[in-house]
Structure 1
Amino acid sequence: MLLQNRTTIVHGGSGAVGSAVARAYAREGAEVHLTGRTRATLEDVAHRIRDEGGTAHVAVLDAVDRTAVERHAAAVADRSGGIDVCFNATFNDDIQGTPLVDMQVGDVMQPVAKAVTSSFTVATAAARHMVGRGTGVILVMAGGREAIPNLGGSHVAWAALAGLCRQLAVELGPRGVRVAWLLSPGSPKPGEPDPDATRLLLPRRPSYADVANAAVFAASDWASTMTATEINLTGGAVVD
């Protein structure tokens, strides 16, 4: 198993992406710590992980609450002897559907502030426990670089996340901590047609399982030289 005996934290662990990543981490042998704002949905994911033979713990917190995040990271590190992987899949509170010229500044900046604040908060909290051991992986879920109208501040937020990850990578790399972000165009609901498939080079967008498997790879020793990098899962919507 690729993540045997690793301690992982998945922020936003009850969402579609976060829950898929958490289950994949547990499947590969990791101990998973789920965080989010709603206990009931977190417990549902934890129960599924345990039913599948994995280990999961639940903590209710807001990823922008630095005190709560740092307290949780310290508790996890104390309990498990460290933190190996931190994955941020929290929602950025995007406001979409309106052209930028018709939007208020605050509505455009809302997802930017949320994305940067939450990712900075959870990454630095985990990193403080990783650098002492000289190893660790920080991963962030981001969006694409396509030119799509009426997405409000979403693309600005994703670009800011990439910049934050690069900065974290250059400062944490010499201390053994890798940082990467996963680029996805979103995942279609199972069994439903994908209306966006025509703008891809491949015939479909990634499923949540595809995203989760990439997150496993990025967190594992198989990706041990990958840092300050974007993992492109867009099916060709973004061409590098």
Structure 2
Amino acid sequence: MLPAGKTAIVHGGSGAVGAAVARAFAREGAAVHLTGRTLPPLDDTARRIRDAGGVAHAARLDATDRAAADRHADAAAAAGHGIDIYFNATSHEDVQGSPLLDPALADVLRPVTKAVTTTLTTAAAAARHMVQRGGGVLLVPAGGRETIPDLGGSHLTWSALTGVCRQLAAELGPHGVRVAWLLSPGSPAPGEENRADERALLAERPAYEDVANAAVFAAFDRARTMTATELDLTGGLVPD
């Protein structure tokens, strides 16, 4: 389990990935602060966590609003003893399915701009508290090493987020704050066939629980020397 008394912020906590990660952090004993654009699904995730014996709080948040992100981080830190874990699963309105030569430039750049904005806005809010305490972990789904055609703005978005994570790791490392990103090929929806891309080395894609378990490992003290690095969950689709 995570050391007792940890505080985790999960942005995009009503989505499939964010909710799974939030539940996993809560199972490990962390108090989880969920944010998203609409409250009802956030409240549902928080209720499920509390019903399972965990601690969860839900708040509506525009992740592009720096002042709002700062206020939320301040409140989460005050409710515990600072902020220990940050996970950003906000949606980016990705554009896929056509070559880069076809879509309008605005369609390609829109998810890049949104992803970088929300990540920098919310990560900075949490990191300020981590720096004060001399430790913490920032986790972001990212990537960018794939060689798959027709990913459009999605691939550029993941690459941009990887760059953001590397620079944050360089700047925050001296303060004891680690940064890592999770590369996943996408998880199957409930009832969907869980077959990996034929180019992958393993037969199945990661379930949401697999992504959540990787996030828990990265947040755990046993990964205390891991930073500026990627957790590859692609089953060999993107080999090292």
TM range (shorter): over 0.9
Using the alignment, how far apart are the partners of 2:71 and 2:40 within structure 1?
21
How far apart, CA to CA, are the structure 2 residues paired with 1:26 and 1:144? 29
Q: Identify which range, 188-197 or 107-116, moves more after superposition.
A: 188-197
| Aligned counterpart, 2:92 | 92
Structure 1 stretches lacking a partner, 5+ long: none
Give TM-score, length-normalised by structure 2: 0.97
Please show how residues 70-219 of structure 1 align to structure 2 within 5 Å: 70-143=70-143, 145-194=145-194, 196-219=196-219
Residue 238 of structure 2 aligns with an amino acid whose one-letter code is V
> For 1:26-41, what aligned pairs fall within 5 Å after superposition?
26-41=26-41
Query: Which residue is equivalent to 2:48?
Result: 48
Q: Quick one: distance in 1 between partners of 2:18 and 2:143?
A: 14
Rounded to whole Å, the distance in 1 between the matches of 2:187 and 2:121 is: 26
Alpha-carbon contact 1:144-1:184 (below 8 Å) kept:
no
Q: Is the 8 A contact 1:33 1:58 kept in 2?
A: yes
**How far, CA to CA, are the matches of 2:3 and 2:158 in structure 1?**
27
What SS class does the counterpart of residue 101 from structure 2 fall into? helix
- Matched residue of 1:2: which SS? coil
Name structure 2 gaps, 5 residues minimum. none
CA distance in 2, matches of 1:140, 1:55: 22
Helix, strand or coil for the counterpart of 2:227? coil
SS of equivalent to 1:198: coil
SS of structure 2 residue aligned to 1:76: helix
User: What SS does the aligned partner of 1:23 have?
Assistant: helix
Identity, % of aligned positions: 67
- Structure 2 Cα separation of the partners of residues 61 and 73 of structure 1: 11
User: Any conservation in 2 of the 1:144–1:234 contact (CA below 8 Å)?
Assistant: no
Judge conservation of contact 1:12–1:34 (CA < 8 Å) in 2. Answer: yes
Cα offset, 1:158, TM superposition: 0.7
Q: Deviations over 1:87-123 (max 9, x none)?
A: 0011111122222111111100011111111111111
Q: Which stretches of structure 1, 4 residues or more, deviate above 6 A after TM superposition?
A: none
Contact kept? 2:136, 2:178, Cα under 8 Å:
yes
Q: Distance in 2 between matches of 1:169 and 1:71?
A: 23
Q: Over aligned residue pairs, what C-alpha RMSD do you find? A: 1.2
Residue 163 of structure 2 aligns with an amino acid whose one-letter code is G
SS of residue matched to 1:101: coil
Q: Name the TM-score, length of structure 1 as normaliser.
A: 0.97
2:14 aligned residue: 14
Give the match's secondary structure for 2:133: coil
Give the CA deviation at 1:144: 5.2
| One-letter code aligned to 2:184 | S
Q: Deviations over 1:35-64 (max 9, x none)?
A: 000100000000100010000001101111
Name the CA distance, whole Å, in 2 between partners of 1:104 and 1:151: 14
**Counterpart residue number, 2:237:** 237
1:144·1:238 contact (CA, 8 Å) conserved in 2? no
Q: CA deviation at 1:225?
A: 0.4
Using the TM superposition, give the Cα deviation of residue 65 of structure 1 relative to its aligned residue in structure 2, in angstroms: 1.2
One-letter amino acid matched to 2:57: H
* Cα displacement string for residues 170-218 of structure 1 (whole angstroms, at most 9, x for unaligned residues): 1100001000000000001234224543121001010000000000000
| Counterpart code for 1:74 | D
Aligned pairs, how many? 240
